[in-house]
Amino acid sequence: MLWSAITLAAYLVALWLYRRSGHHLLCLPVLTGTALVLAALALAGSGYPVYAEATRVLRWLTGPGFIALAVPLYRQAALLRGLAAPLLVALAAGCLVSVLGTLLLCGLMGTPMAFALSLAPKAATMPMAMLAAERAGGVPAVAAMAVVATGVLGTWLAGPLLRWLRVDEGLQGEVVSSFTLGLVAHAIGVARVLQTHPGSVAFAALAMGLNGIASVLVLALLSRWL
Amino acid sequence: MLFKLLSDGPRTFRALLAASVLVGLQWLGDAVVAWWGWPVPGALVGLLLLLGALFAAGGVPQALDDVSTPLLRHLMRLLIPSVAAVGLYAGLLSQHTAAFLLVAVVVTALTLVVTAWTLQRLIRRSSR
């Protein structure tokens, strides 16, 4: 109970910080909130297992929360009408490059499989990536770090790379850049699209939801072979 | 039947019912996965079942919207306890910092380029 209350307090402080910082990328509530919780744990001299046991209800609730993602996804699915084939092919291409590229690069660098499997779902949104990593035999907390790094880097790299690809400013270009940002940089990318192209933000949200599902599926199937 | 109850019953009752639908889907998903030994997580099966039900019903019942909106807004708070486990893996992360950073930069850039390029080509072709 106490640790759940401390988590809530840390989250509220983190939200306040996030607003004060003008929604700065590196002040994401989940990062600062986690840092505050870790600081509290260090101060109290308690280990993570004690904390994990005390917050079991919170952790269990992420399951129903994950399932609730079906509601926004259902609303965005209407966008698939007319553009279904291009969007789904781009989704498959992006998801496979991200997951397989990560596993390949990690393989070349000789990192342990559990670490590679934690990084592989990094383009997915945090709840989905953590679930995918856990199920495939990776470490959810490491996946969370990779997700944040990918979101921040993806949002930074998107500008120059999309210009280099000559994605134009017209309506089609807007759909391409919004969908790409949502697929690669999940919620951080969606937040950026909300600032730059608010009219097509639903495409970013759709890409985020679809890539989350696709990453969980691809990783689940791959982990059977690896 | 369930969808009718979700849109017609008294307000608190509907909210409770919608919350139990989400919890029930989690259990159902876990049960399905355990029964057939699928490699996917139970929550994903629950999500896909809910998505299918929403398509079949052709709309989102108000009560489900009322319950899922605050849940989704604060999903990140629910994740904090799992993310805090990173403290246990500080050693693993510092040991593989180079791989972590390289993957984050190279694969992210590659994914961006492949996704945008594919989508741009396909949209141009289909609109011609």
Task: At A103, list the tokens.
Answer: 């596993």
Alpha-carbon distance of A162 to B109, in angstroms, equals: 10
Instruction: Kindly list the residues from chain A whose CB atom is less than 8 angstroms away from the CB atom of residue B113.
Output: 161, 165
What distance lies between CA A149 and its chain's CA centroid? Answer: 10
Phi, psi of A139 (to 5 degrees): -110, 115
Would you say A30 and A44 are in contact if contact means Cβ atoms under 8 Å apart? Answer: no
What distance lies between CA A182 and its chain's CA centroid? Answer: 9
ipTM surpasses 0.90: no
Q: Which of B39, B89, B110 sits opposite A223 (nearest CB)?
A: B39
Q: 């799992």: which residue's tokens?
A: B82
Q: Where are the domains of chain B?
A: 2-73
Q: Quick one: B11 exposed, middle or buried, by C-beta within 10 A (0-12, 13-18, 19+)?
A: exposed
Task: At B57, list the tokens.
Answer: 């019903």
- In 3D space, the residue among B44, B41, B92, B114 whose CA is nearest the CA of residue A100 turns out to be B114
pLDDT tens profile A54-106: 888 888 888 888 899 899 889 888 888 888 999 999 999 999 999 999 999 99
pLDDT tens profile B11-25: 788 888 889 999 999
B4 to chain A nearest CA, in Å? 17
Q: How far is CA A86 from CA A89, A114, A160, A166, in A?
A: 5, 33, 23, 18
pLDDT tens profile A69-81: 899 889 888 888 8
Restricting to B residues 2-21, those with a Cβ less than 8 Å away from any Cβ of A are 19
pLDDT(A169) > 80 = no
B88 to chain A nearest CA, in Å? 7
pLDDT(B78) > 80 = yes
Per the CB < 8 Å rule, is A216 touching B44? yes
Per the CB < 8 Å rule, is A63 touching B92? no
Alpha carbons within 13 angstroms on the beta-carbon side of residue B114 total 20
pLDDT tens profile A4-16: 888 888 988 988 8
pLDDT(A109) > 70 = yes
